[in-house]
Amino acid sequence: MQNKKVQREQMMAMIDDWQTSGLNQRTYCAAKKIGYSTFHYWYGLYRKKKTETGLFLPVKVMSSISNEHITIIGVSGIKLEVSLTEKSIGFVKQLLLD
């Protein structure tokens, strides 16, 4: 019996392979001799993992004209203003890097 971690890595690689193959799911499964229900089980886990890792939305950082605040506007329109200080600059950098 395979180690679960190894099996998971193989199945995630299979999903990546399918996405680059240009084939639809059923054709890919038939060509690789993979059960369609098995493929969908792993594809569901793959999609869940992708959404879990993408919990943060990209943001656009803009300084205000007066240079007294840092304004961050998210893609959904949420706006965050932070007073411009040495600490706030470090804080914003950490938010964007993490």
19-67: per-residue pLDDT in tens?
888 899 999 999 999 999 999 898 888 888 776 655 566 666 655 444 6
For 48-53, the CB contacts below 8 A with 24+ separation are 49/12
Sequence length of the chain is 98
Picking from 46, 35, 53, 55, the residue whose alpha carbon sits closest to that of residue 9 is: 46
Q: Give the global pTM.
A: 0.48
d(CA 53, CA 76): 18
Coil vs helix vs strand at 65: coil
d(CA 36, CA 29): 6
